Structure 1
Amino acid sequence: MTSLNAVVIIIRLIISIFVQRLLAVTLGEAGIAKIGQLRNLVQMLTSTSSLGIFNGIVKYVSENENDTKQLSKLFSSAFLFGAVGSIISGVVLFFNADYISVRLFGDAAFVNLIKCLSLLPPVIGLNRILYGLINGLSDYKKHAKIELGAYILSVVLLLIFLYYFNLKGVLFAIILSPLISFVVVLFIFFDKLKAHIKLQELSADFSFAKPLLAFTLMSFISTVLLNYIELDVRTTITDRINIEEAGYWTAMNFISKNYMVFSSSIFTLYVIPKFAKINTGSAFKKEVLYIYKTLLPLFGLGMLLVYVFRHLIIDIIYPNFEGLSELFKWQLLGDFVRLATLVISYQFLAKKMVWSFVITELISLGLFYGLSKYYVDIYGAEGVVMAHLYRYIIYFIIVIIAVWFYFKRNKKHV
Structure 2
Amino acid sequence: MARKQHLRQFLGNSLWSGLSTVARAVSGLAVNKLFAVYYGPQGITLLAHFQNLIALLTQLPNGGVNIGLIRHLAQPSPVSQQYRAYFWAGFFLNVLTFIGGAVAVMLFPGFFLERFGEMLLFQGGPVRVWLLLGLFVLLLLHLFWLSLLLARQALNWYVWLSLLSSLVSVSATWWAVGRLDLPLALVLYLTGQAIGGLAGLAVVLYKGLIPTWRFKLPATVVHDLGKYLVMAMATLVGAKLVDFVVREMAIREFSVLETGLWQSAVKISDSYTMVYISVLGMVYYPKIASLLPQPQALREYVRSIFFLLSPAVALALLVFWWQRDFFIQLLFHRDFLAARDLMDYQLLGDFLKMTAWVLSYIVTVQARVKLYILTQLVSGVVYVALVAWLMPLLGLDGLPMAHALRYGLYLVFHLILFRSYFTAS
Give the structure-2-normalised TM-score.
0.87
Work out which of the residue numbers 67, 90, 113 in structure 1 matches 2:102: 90
Distance 1:352 1:267 in 2: 17
Distance 1:364 1:224 in 2: 10
Deviates more, 1:217-226 or 1:206-215: 217-226
CA deviations on 1:273-294 (whole Å, 9 max, x unpaired) are 2112223443222111221243
Work out which of the residue numbers 190, 197, 202 in structure 2 matches 1:182: 197
Whether 1:110 and 2:120 are equivalent positions in the alignment is: yes
Whether 1:80 and 2:92 are equivalent positions in the alignment is: yes
For residue 397 of structure 2, give the secondary structure of its aligned residue in structure 1. Answer: helix
Whether 1:213 and 2:223 are equivalent positions in the alignment is: no
Unpaired stretches in structure 2, ≥5 consecutive residues? 1-12
Distance 1:321 1:289 in 2: 39
Q: How does 1:33-48 map to 2 (within 5 A)?
A: 33-48=45-60
Contact 2:53/2:112 (8 A) holds in 1: no
Contact 2:165/2:196 (8 A) holds in 1: yes
The match for 1:135 is: 150
Rate the CA distance shift 1:124–1:355 in 2: closer, same or farther, 3 A.
same
Contact 1:17/1:316 (8 A) holds in 2: no
Distance 1:127 1:45 in 2: 14
The match for 1:333 is: 348
| Distance apart, 1:119 and its partner CA | 4.4
Distance 2:96 2:29 in 1: 38
Distance 2:311 2:241 in 1: 32
CA deviations on 1:38-74 (whole Å, 9 max, x unpaired) are 1100011112456831211111112435772111110
The match for 1:410 is: none
Distance 2:107 2:235 in 1: 25
**AA of the residue aligned to 2:372:** F
Distance 1:395 1:127 in 2: 32
Work out which of the residue numbers 302, 305, 326 in structure 2 matches 1:291: 305
The match for 2:246 is: 233
For residue 165 of structure 1, give the secondary structure of its aligned residue in structure 2. Answer: coil
Distance 2:139 2:28 in 1: 22
**AA of the residue aligned to 2:83:** L
Work out which of the residue numbers 314, 319, 322 in structure 2 matches 1:300: 314
For residue 64 of structure 2, give the secondary structure of its aligned residue in structure 1. Answer: coil
Distance 2:111 2:315 in 1: 44
| Distance apart, 1:19 and its partner CA | 3.6
Distance 1:71 1:287 in 2: 28
For residue 199 of structure 1, give the secondary structure of its aligned residue in structure 2. Answer: coil
| Distance apart, 1:166 and its partner CA | 3.7
Work out which of the residue numbers 219, 241, 244 in structure 1 matches 2:257: 244
Work out which of the residue numbers 379, 395, 399 in structure 1 matches 2:410: 395
**AA of the residue aligned to 1:111:** L
Distance 2:191 2:104 in 1: 19
Rate the CA distance shift 1:299–1:236 in 2: closer, same or farther, 3 A.
same
The match for 1:53 is: 65
Rate the CA distance shift 1:209–1:101 in 2: closer, same or farther, 3 A.
same
Rate the CA distance shift 1:18–1:350 in 2: closer, same or farther, 3 A.
closer
Contact 1:59/1:272 (8 A) holds in 2: no
**AA of the residue aligned to 2:369:** V
For residue 190 of structure 2, give the secondary structure of its aligned residue in structure 1. Answer: helix
Rate the CA distance shift 1:240–1:94 in 2: closer, same or farther, 3 A.
closer
Contact 1:30/1:247 (8 A) holds in 2: yes
| Distance apart, 1:37 and its partner CA | 0.8
| Distance apart, 1:9 and its partner CA | 3.7
Work out which of the residue numbers 296, 300, 303 in structure 2 matches 1:282: 296
CA deviations on 1:66-110 (whole Å, 9 max, x unpaired) are 7721111101211221232233233344454455322x44x5343
Distance 1:83 1:396 in 2: 34
Contact 1:49/1:121 (8 A) holds in 2: no
Rate the CA distance shift 1:174–1:208 in 2: closer, same or farther, 3 A.
same
User: How many residue pairs get matched?
Assistant: 404
Whether 1:101 and 2:105 are equivalent positions in the alignment is: no
For residue 385 of structure 2, give the secondary structure of its aligned residue in structure 1. Answer: helix
For residue 296 of structure 1, give the secondary structure of its aligned residue in structure 2. Answer: helix
Unpaired stretches in structure 1, ≥5 consecutive residues? 408-412
CA deviations on 1:219-276 (whole Å, 9 max, x unpaired) are 1122454121111111111111222221112211211111111221122212222112
Rate the CA distance shift 1:305–1:51 in 2: closer, same or farther, 3 A.
closer
CA deviations on 1:127-176 (whole Å, 9 max, x unpaired) are 33322222222222222222121111111111112243141232112333
Distance 2:226 2:26 in 1: 39
The match for 1:253 is: 266
**AA of the residue aligned to 2:232:** S
Distance 2:110 2:245 in 1: 17
**AA of the residue aligned to 2:49:** Q
The match for 1:69 is: 81
| Distance apart, 1:12 and its partner CA | 4.5
Whether 1:22 and 2:34 are equivalent positions in the alignment is: yes
The match for 1:344 is: 359
Distance 2:27 2:190 in 1: 19
Rate the CA distance shift 1:97–1:239 in 2: closer, same or farther, 3 A.
closer
Deviates more, 1:126-135 or 1:52-61: 126-135
Contact 2:57/2:102 (8 A) holds in 1: no
Percent sequence identity over aligned pairs: 20
Contact 1:48/1:224 (8 A) holds in 2: no
Deviates more, 1:371-380 or 1:58-67: 58-67
Give the structure-1-normalised TM-score.
0.89
Rate the CA distance shift 1:94–1:14 in 2: closer, same or farther, 3 A.
closer
Rate the CA distance shift 1:18–1:57 in 2: closer, same or farther, 3 A.
closer
Distance 2:41 2:314 in 1: 29
Work out which of the residue numbers 144, 150, 172 in structure 2 matches 1:157: 172
